[in-house]
Amino acid sequence: MGSVNESTHYDVMVVGAGAAGIVAAIQAGRAGARTMLVERTGLPGGTTTTGGVNFPGLFHAWGHQVIAGIGWELVSRCVTETGGTLPDFANYRCPHWHHQILVNPFIYAALCDEALLDAGVDVLFHAMIAEVKPQTEDAGWHVTICTKGGLSSRTARVVIDATGDANLAAMAGLPVRLREENQPATLCCQASGYNLAELDIDAINRAFDIEVRAGRLAYTDASWNTAGPDVGSWLKKGGSNASHIHRINAHDSEGRTQLELEARRSLLRLFRFLRRQAGLEDLTIQQAAPECGVRETATIIGKRTVAVEDYQSGRVWDDAVCYSFYPLDLHMPSDGGLKCEPLSEGVVPTVPRGALLPRGSRNFLVAGRCLSSDRLANSALRVQATCMATGQAAGAMAALGASAGIDPEDLPVGDVHALLRKHGAIVPLLKHGRVEDGWSLNSESRRHLQGLDSRLDENEQ
């Protein structure tokens, strides 16, 4: 099925086709749920594709894979199809970004399309949600969609907010947290036309500093550093993930518009400056991401909230549905622009089901970076592999809940884990009705790794 059919009722509706949403929809579809996916752009993948951050991670911790399933399937398939190679995950003492996986964004998007259609998902691109209201008669949801042809109505037993910005939750009147300060955003691009070894970086930095002091440039046009010029950082990266756009919350259309305008303005003034420098006369911007990459906008207030202490200690929640792994990674509008704090060796955090459930909701799930968490925990939970894992968990719970007529909060965790394992996910191990705690900050790393080995064996069986 290449597009939405005439049906107006779905078991599961997923809004947002980013890292979390595509996986949620594929999981729900593969589990037999009648599923619809609504996306405001024409391209699946979100940050991986439209955001230009085509190096998702992290799927591995301490030399062991902790996130697998549908997201891993899509990423690894893309690497295979394009003749790429995977990082050496066994070498876990290298910088964490060495374990992020480079994918071709066009092929990745096409593989997502293929997997969605193979799972029987009805896909609707170029559409946004105009209204979402509860249906009291069956505890489902009535959703009004704004399409290019006008407004269209659908109903769904369970909805999943995978917008990244908690837009659907806010529309439904569920509690959402907007912070006074947000992490800076970044417009990724690909620059070429110069030989880095032949450039006088010190001279370029001096000229750049003069322009900043004159108010014609900002230090963060070319780096994350707010305190001084670092044009060499941008040039070494070829413009990839190399700038910061500050103090704009892109959770709504007005904020997103302001961000896109400022991001392109920043790149244009940097381009004009660089082309005036010796050795950069032929610099060109080969490609820029269709959208500015956003790190933080809003989070739901959930039935459970992951605090930084939970994340750093590797707390194993009694309703844990997946693992997560990434350093605390808070981008800031001050100093060097980044606070990065690795986890203690052997620690692998978990994500509770309650963090995907907005407070006061029924038959409503959230997946991706807007899950319920405090700011520091969210700086790690927001990354693509974790979004994929929470997306698969949300898709599984939505399909099970819709089939049984049960709110996702009331599903036995063991049933959720069983469905996730069936579709390749790695989940915390249940033992005697509780999640077995093998990942504790105060336990020895060797026991942690041995504990995970046994879990992976069980997942493979």
CB atoms closer than 10 angstroms to residue 335: 11
Contact 132, 159 (CB under 8 A): yes
Q: What angle do CA 180, 183, 186 make, to 5 degrees?
A: 135
7 backbone dihedrals φ, ψ, rounded to 5°: -65, 145
Model pLDDT, residue 430: 55
Number of other residues whose CB lies within 10 A of the CB of residue 63: 13
For residues 160 and 398, the answer to whether their CB atoms sit within 8 Å is: yes
Residue 32 has pLDDT above 80, yes or no: yes
Higher pLDDT, 31 or 450: 31
| Residue whose tokens read 């052997």 | 346
Q: What is the pLDDT of residue 180?
A: 85
pLDDT at 428: 87
- Across the range 151-166, mean pLDDT stands at 97
Q: What is the pLDDT of residues 115-126, one digit of tens each?
A: 999 999 999 999
Distance between first and last Cα of the chain = 33
- In the chain, CATH 3.50.50.60 covers 9-178+298-460
Q: What is the mean pLDDT of residues 345-368?
A: 97
Q: Is the pLDDT of residue 1 over 90?
A: no
Report the C-alpha gap between 19 and 384 in whole angstroms.
6
Distant-in-sequence, close-in-space partners of 9: CB < 8 Å, separation ≥ 6: 34, 154, 155, 156
pLDDT(444) > 50: no
pLDDT of residue 137: 67
Rounded-to-integer distance, Cα 353 and Cα 132, Å: 22
At 454 the pLDDT is: 47
pLDDT score recorded for residue 420 = 98
Does the pLDDT of residue 39 top 60, yes or no? yes
Give the β-pairing of 298-300 and 176-178.
Answer: antiparallel
Say what the pLDDT of residue 136 is.
Answer: 77
β partners of residue 153 = 144
The better pLDDT of the pair 257, 435 is held by 257
pLDDT at 441: 32
pLDDT for residue 103 is more than 60: yes
SS3 assignment, position 130: strand
User: In the predicted model, is pLDDT for residue 4 greater than 80?
Assistant: no
What is d(CA 38, CA 78) in angstroms, rounded to the nearest whole number? 23
- Give dist(CA 161, CA 25) in Å, integer: 11
Per-residue confidence (pLDDT) for residue 429, from 0 to 100: 74
List, as own/partner pairs, every contact residues 104-110 make where C-beta atoms lie below 8 angstroms and the sequence separation is at least 24, other chains included: 104/54, 104/78, 105/45, 105/48, 105/49, 105/52, 105/54, 106/49, 107/78, 107/81, 107/82, 108/45, 108/48, 108/49, 108/54, 108/74, 108/75, 108/78, 109/43, 109/44, 109/45, 109/49
Alpha carbons 152 and 143: distance in angstroms, whole number: 8
pLDDT at 417 > cutoff 90: yes
Q: What is the fold, at CATH topology level, of the domain defined by 9-178+298-460?
A: FAD/NAD(P)-binding domain (3.50.50)
Task: Give residue-wise pLDDT tens across range 291-342.
Answer: 999 999 999 999 999 999 999 999 999 999 999 999 999 999 888 899 999 9
Q: How confident is the model at residue 431 (pLDDT cuts 50, 70, 90)?
A: low
Give pLDDT tens digits for 246-259. 999 999 999 999 99
Pairing of strands 9-15, 150-161: parallel
pLDDT value of residue 7? 61
pLDDT in tens, 180-227: 889 999 999 999 999 999 999 999 999 999 999 999 999 999 999 999
Of the pLDDT bands very low, low, confident and very high (cuts 50, 70, 90), residue 460 is: very low
- pTM of the model as a whole: 0.92
pLDDT at 335: 84
Output the furthest CA–CA distance in the chain (Å, rounded): 71
Determine the average pLDDT of the residues in 11-36. Answer: 98
Structure tokens of 444? Answer: 């020895």
How high does pLDDT run on average in the chain? 92
Q: For residue 96, what pLDDT is reported?
A: 95
pLDDT of residue 447: 43
275 alpha-carbon distance from chain centroid: 34
